[in-house]
Structure 1
Amino acid sequence: MTQTIFSPEPHRGWLPWAWLSPVVCILLVAFSSVPFDFGLEWIGVMDAKRQPASASAFCLDLLLPFAGMGAAVWAWSHFVERRSLATLGLVGAGRLRKYVAGMGIGLGMVALAVMSIWLVGGYVVGDVLPAFSSPASLFWIAVLLACFAFQAGVEEFIFRGWLLSTATRRWNLAAGFIASSTAFTFLHFSPHQPVREIVMAFTFGMFACAWAWRAGSIWGVMGWHAGWNWITGVGFAVPITGFDLHLPALLVQLTPTGPDVLTGGPAGPESSALTIGLLAAATLLLLAWPKGFAAAAQGTSAKGDNRATQKST
């Protein structure tokens, strides 16, 4: 039995089968981003190992490939599936409030994960607020907030907005969770990475799906993802998903001293076993959220969906 998520508004074009939707997603993302990836490497912005030469280089890497990905998925949903943005999770009232609240939760969850790693001996604390001694660093940290907001927003639009809703419409919610998280994990895979990092990507995807489902939109999880990525990258001078941003820490300089399973190794604290456990627990909490709260959220979402449907007609 098929289900809908975000909005009951029907699609007016062709919707790929649930098993095919992650394949379509992977192809759209790959073909739209690879030319930018090669171009950035060719002009020296990124090296052969996909490491940025500077903070400004990393900003370009967050903007150009993701602009291509977002445009490709939007074009597919608009011209092939003929769906409104409401059916892709961009629906509901209080959008800015949900986004800012999500960002705050993202900042807090990263702080909790990093503090937990430090408490069990994974980090040595260095300078406090070192970025404030460099106006240029503060400028790029602020610019990176906007860049991470764009990058995270595009990822959520693709994986939790479009792919989650597509597979759910074609089969059911469980299929949507699996399709979205599998494609997200595949596109974050690199050869020779530890299994722990693969588990992290899948857990991250499941958490984001659970949030989008419970909220009835992707505004909150977009903010959460932006806050999570930004403070991980600039807050502690540790890698984010393996990238070094070449900036002093905004909050506190940390030096990893523990084993990779604790600190995340070259991938950064995102791939710590403690962070994976935190996201897994948060996912279970969202999935087991009391029905009363879920019903209230669904009621708010439905009102926003109706308004979006009326505007689109």
Structure 2
Amino acid sequence: MAIIVICLFYGIPIFFVGLTLGGVGIVLVSSVLYKFSSYTFFEFINLFNNIYGELGTFSFSAFLLLIWVKFVEKRPFSELGFSTKFKRTLWSLIKGWSIGFILFSISVITAYILGGLDFHSYDVSKATIFYVVTLLPFWLIQSGTEELLTRGWLLPLINHRFHLAVAIGVSSTLFGILHLVNAHVTFLSIVSIICSGVLMSLYMIKSGNIWSVAALHGAWNFSQGNLYGIAVSGQKVGASLLHFTVKENAPDWISGGAFGIEGSLISIFVLLAAIIYLLWLIKTEETD
């Protein structure tokens, strides 16, 4: 019961109130970007309408959570996994981003080899490069907010009251539940997202740094949508450098279907392999 109260009355309201207030922030950010771009007004709106409206608002959820922790719980931000050391933070971002990119690339390459995906073309036009580059920090904000809520805040909160395994299970399941409203959701896609939640939880435990987990998550989503051109959890996110599509008549368990690679068994196996490896690393450190 205590777990349900924590999730319903604290975590979820903070998340959705932040999304609502985020509209103000996205208008300001979009205005600045439009001012310094070479696009006409309608070209700019068409380019950024969906993705920035969805991603930019996450920063306000993070802001509300930080206010809550600082002034209500009266805890330092370091307890959420933040580091004030620049070199450590930079290395955490680079390492996490690299891991996320590698894991998703393995999934794409495997799906392509097994006949689940087709490669059509690439796009390195100025408009696409501009879009992709300026989107990088927003993927970090979007992923960072989800990680801050579920792994930085909720995971240790539940762990303090219950067993660590319960904390990992609950926070990862909540992570999966938040994606139930996504388009083209399937049983496999939810299992895959819960597995990714377990992976992020273990990586948070291993690194002790929220920047690492946010970067891993951000790189996974960025690679999925804006590098390979695959739907991110059932949603198309605009321009991409490469264009992979689901191969005609390919089974969803290989291609992921309309949900994207995350809806495939391939993604689940890749995540499970990473989970097993992380468990081994954590166990090895405990015995040293």
| Equivalent residue number for residue 141 of structure 1 | 132
| Equivalent residue number for residue 160 of structure 1 | 151
**Which SS does the other structure have where 1:289 is aligned?**
helix
1:116 to 110, 113, 121: 110
TM-score, scaled relative to structure 1? 0.77
Q: Please show how residues 50-199 of structure 1 align to structure 2 within 5 Å.
A: 54-57=46-49, 58-64=51-57, 66-91=58-83, 93=85, 94-127=88-121, 130-132=122-124, 134-190=125-181, 193-199=185-191
**CA separation in 1, counterparts of 2:159 and 2:119?**
45
| Equivalent residue number for residue 228 of structure 1 | 220
Matched, 1:28 2:14: yes
Contact 1:117–1:123 (8 Å) recurs in 2: yes
Partner deviation per Cα, 1:98-157 (whole Å, 9 max, x = no partner)? 111110111111111000000000112222xx221x101100010111110111111111
Contact 1:18–1:166 (8 Å) recurs in 2: no
Partner deviation per Cα, 1:252-286 (whole Å, 9 max, x = no partner)? 32221112221111111122110011112211221
**Which SS does the other structure have where 1:276 is aligned?**
helix
Cα distance change of structure 1 residues 36 and 95 upon mapping to structure 2, 3 Å threshold: closer
Supply the AA of the counterpart residue of 1:59: Y
Contact 1:22–1:179 (8 Å) recurs in 2: no
Shift of 1:34: 4.5
Contact 1:25–1:183 (8 Å) recurs in 2: no
Supply the AA of the counterpart residue of 2:55: L
Cα RMSD over matched residues? 2.4
**CA separation in 1, counterparts of 2:157 and 2:229?**
38
**Which SS does the other structure have where 2:203 is aligned?**
helix
More helix by proportion, 1 or 2? 2
Contact 1:156–1:221 (8 Å) recurs in 2: yes
| Equivalent residue number for residue 245 of structure 1 | 237
Q: Which runs of 5+ in 2 are unaligned?
A: 27-44
| Equivalent residue number for residue 34 of structure 2 | none
Supply the AA of the counterpart residue of 1:178: G
Cα distance change of structure 1 residues 163 and 201 upon mapping to structure 2, 3 Å threshold: same
Shift of 1:219: 2.0
Percent identity, please: 27
Partner deviation per Cα, 1:7-28 (whole Å, 9 max, x = no partner)? xxxxxxxxx9444322221232
**CA separation in 2, counterparts of 1:149 and 1:164?**
20
**Which SS does the other structure have where 1:126 is aligned?**
strand
Q: Which has the higher contact order (CA 8 A, sep 6+)?
A: 1
Shift of 1:69: 1.4
Supply the AA of the counterpart residue of 2:220: W
**Which SS does the other structure have where 2:148 is aligned?**
helix
**CA separation in 1, counterparts of 2:210 and 2:62?**
15
**Which SS does the other structure have where 1:60 is aligned?**
helix
Supply the AA of the counterpart residue of 1:56: F
Shift of 1:160: 0.7
